[in-house]
Structure 1
């Protein structure tokens, strides 16, 4: 070891190097192993953390350098697997900004099914999201959706909240960063005032403009903005939901004018837009015809690099991993051997993530066979749970806004399957506790094995809950209990048919959403009833 105390500038600028240590040759030196890339020299432009991952002398005689080489490769592979889980939600979310190109003219309905809009703008629907769509896993069928993505490096965006929402009507506007972390969640649950807020990126500097209620800072340049407005199934209820959604959304600051903007969801919903080569007829014939693979492990590292280039700054819980990701990306570019290793790691990590990300396995015990992800939406450094959520229900709300209970098994731990009939019995006064004064409601939604709703349920129901209760559609027993029937075949009895939630053929999964949950839900005191197979 050669120590140099108080080194001069020449050392840091790599203008001075030590002389090599020469051995007096007594035998023919061993040849360097050709399959090991020599580490870059001190004048290399490759960052030090990248160069450090290649052993200094991997080519020692008699393979003496191989253990160090294998140890470094093992470290890189282990790190790559963690980075894959960490970066998966961001690659997925960043890929969805393809909306900007598809919807570049004005807001509308992508594929005639989903809300879409140009950059820094939200679009909205005028009815529930179509159960036949295959772009967004596990959507709800309780609210009318809006959606849009911002690039805050281009300019700030205006977030508008409603001034005319009826008391007790549920609405929300969820704002997530590129990693799907919920950064801001406004709405009836938090009694957000009506008006305008300015959504800005991490590097924006300035004062709150006149007429704005405040500044909403995001940790990344790319942000997702997701308005929702509760809708019962009656025409009058849907008119009310859209009237509120017409007041909620995002648009570029450069297009701001005095007073509130009307987003006109009816007009947006009529503007059906399809990607090149896709038609309404194709989607009707095959809903998967244009279904994207939002994260492709074969292109993961290139896609991750593009995401990081668009988001040079990330939140404090993601900063350290962003540095590690950049190191791996540079390593992959600098060394063909490591490129092959990292590409294999991406494939293995993707397979592992999807194997664990099912309604059977995600979350922790919430009582009676149900599971939940505690802290959902506010992920912090829980990158594992965040990646799993992206697979099964991307853009999950802040758990304090809406708590999700999930399951894929019955009371005996057997996979749920449409061949069988199941029941859920709520005792008297034991329905999910939500705060109705702030718009709270609950629903039980049925999903197929791919995490999508049934496109054509025989009784029109994809979920059951507060909407059906308010419409007096459900039948209670004499003791005040409520028994729901889950099956593919229509039940024979009138009461069972009234309380029937159709199941698909084959394996299925369930979600109970409790919007504006009470403290009993948040504290884990309340438990749902089990799902019993007959």
Structure 2
């Protein structure tokens, strides 16, 4: 994006303190006409404001969600990159923090993490200064890596990585008010339509010591740091040192979290505080891209209206509470997305949301910061072939016919992975066979058993199968309701155009 893709800040209150015209117009000129003649105009205003408020909540949910996650800046300040709360990548502002292994299955903070890559994460304030993004130089042939960059609304603005054959080097990530040319020594300037942005690094890791060492070696060449901290030449990062640097807020430690992981189950967006949180988020991002600018203006009008009168405040607060409850209750794997064949669903525009504010909000609830769909397609489901909710006490099978495994581009590191989640979209804390997902990594390790006809049948259940093939192909399920997410990284054309269909999930016992 270029600097011309953002719109100017809207007008605020006049110098004499009078509210802006868009706010004042919601009060009818003669609402007190006798015989109730002014009531229809008042009701029209109220109904319009209420409807608009519900849409603004959906539009603004991902923004509030992202800005709320920058609270780790304060936690990590003075500690350097590390693991916030000992669980996930944390960083001071404009730096990247890392883990050095899969995210722990026991954690109850980050929903739907993958169990295929090792992560790095940078939450940036590009309004403060640009950020240097470094891509890896020494990457084994066929190894998957990516640095996904999103704006404050979770829309993917840049997707660097093996799939796009991004060259090694430094990129300058800048905000909407930065002006200049590509500095010497940088490959390119990456423009963000918002001040707040997120860069997520991923490096594929098999489950062997050698595979994880390879993933770390690539991840250690990938990173982000403030421009003021840059120096000539390449930087060497250290994901293992970052993982050892576990930082906890006062009153919390590893032992307390181990005893009660649910302490961190705190929703990132709350209807009760939405309007105040949205105002802070917009203040941090006074400029937004063209797909969000019209709604940002509407949001600011409602924020001013809420301050103008207690009656409007009550109406807007109620609208936010209602929209909040409905979004969280409706954003379920058995509901989100459209039919992708054989009972699976997908969001066809994942990561490339444009003005699909509703789809973007749904994604922010169930799997925030999904990659651009050209990079990875996410297939989800919460029901079996008969439309019944998936339950761990039953046995289900997925049968891939010969040569019908998900078609990903292995030459650029592509892989597929079926991950098991509980009803709240976390991994089960423990697994009897140490599996939380199944896919390419198991194929590469020669762990799966194919039928005599070349088919592959996966078994999904709480109870371990008794037969040898079932044991080899078993993905353990929790006792209760569960959900499935099948990731296809570097999808090929049959996945992109929808002609490839995943097999059904059939209850067999």
| TM-score, with length taken from structure 2 | 0.96
Matched, 1:451 2:425: yes
Equivalence for 1:23: none
CA contact (8 A) 1:156 1:199 kept: yes
SS at match of 1:277: coil
Equivalence for 1:305: 279
Q: State which drifts further: 191-200 or 276-285.
A: 276-285
- C-alpha distance in 2, partners of 1:194/1:80? 45
Equivalence for 2:161: 187
1:53-202 correspondence to structure 2 within 5 Å: 53-105=26-78, 106-202=80-176
- C-alpha distance in 1, partners of 2:307/2:315? 12
- C-alpha distance in 1, partners of 2:14/2:488? 59
2:484 pairs with one of 503, 510, 532: 510
CA contact (8 A) 1:474 1:499 kept: yes
Superposed CA offset, 1:142-199 (max 9, x none): 0001111010111100000001111210000000001000000100000000000000
Change beyond 3 A, Cα 1:495–1:206: same
Superposed CA offset, 1:364-408 (max 9, x none): 000000000001100000000000000100001100000000000
CA contact (8 A) 1:162 1:195 kept: yes
SS at match of 1:190: coil
- C-alpha distance in 2, partners of 1:239/1:202? 38
1:45 pairs with one of 18, 26, 40: 18
Change beyond 3 A, Cα 1:41–1:313: closer
CA contact (8 A) 1:278 1:290 kept: no
CA contact (8 A) 2:88 2:103 kept: yes
Q: Deviation of residue 291 (structure 1)?
A: 2.8
Equivalence for 1:225: 199
1:324-335 correspondence to structure 2 within 5 Å: 324-335=298-309
2:463 pairs with one of 489, 511, 519: 489
Q: Deviation of residue 526 (structure 1)?
A: 0.3
Equivalence for 1:27: none
Matched, 1:207 2:206: no
SS at match of 1:289: helix
- C-alpha distance in 2, partners of 1:467/1:77? 49
Listed as ranges, the gaps of 5+ residues in structure 1 are 1-39
- C-alpha distance in 2, partners of 1:301/1:69? 23
- C-alpha distance in 2, partners of 1:532/1:388? 27
- C-alpha distance in 1, partners of 2:330/2:371? 21
- C-alpha distance in 2, partners of 1:339/1:362? 31
Q: Deviation of residue 141 (structure 1)?
A: 0.4
- C-alpha distance in 1, partners of 2:393/2:19? 59
Matched, 1:338 2:312: yes
Change beyond 3 A, Cα 1:480–1:401: same
CA contact (8 A) 2:85 2:248 kept: yes
SS at match of 1:123: strand
Matched, 1:374 2:336: no
Equivalence for 1:29: none
Matched, 1:384 2:350: no
Matched, 1:275 2:249: yes
- C-alpha distance in 1, partners of 2:76/2:163? 31
- C-alpha distance in 1, partners of 2:291/2:184? 33
- C-alpha distance in 1, partners of 2:301/2:291? 18
Q: Deviation of residue 44 (structure 1)?
A: 5.3
Q: Deviation of residue 103 (structure 1)?
A: 0.9
CA contact (8 A) 2:14 2:20 kept: no
Matched, 1:284 2:284: no
Matched, 1:356 2:349: no
2:411 pairs with one of 426, 431, 437: 437
SS at match of 1:509: strand
- C-alpha distance in 2, partners of 1:120/1:135? 22
SS at match of 1:254: helix
CA contact (8 A) 2:63 2:154 kept: yes
Equivalence for 2:229: 255
CA contact (8 A) 1:136 1:394 kept: no
Equivalence for 1:428: 402
Equivalence for 1:472: 446
Q: Deviation of residue 494 (structure 1)?
A: 1.5
- C-alpha distance in 2, partners of 1:242/1:113? 17
RMSD of aligned residue pairs (Cα, Å): 1.2
- C-alpha distance in 1, partners of 2:209/2:87? 19
Q: Deviation of residue 290 (structure 1)?
A: 2.6
SS at match of 1:288: helix
- C-alpha distance in 2, partners of 1:138/1:249? 23
- C-alpha distance in 1, partners of 2:15/2:226? 47
Equivalence for 1:416: 390
Superposed CA offset, 1:403-460 (max 9, x none): 0000000000000011111000000000000000000000000001111111101111
SS at match of 2:163: helix
Q: Deviation of residue 41 (structure 1)?
A: 12
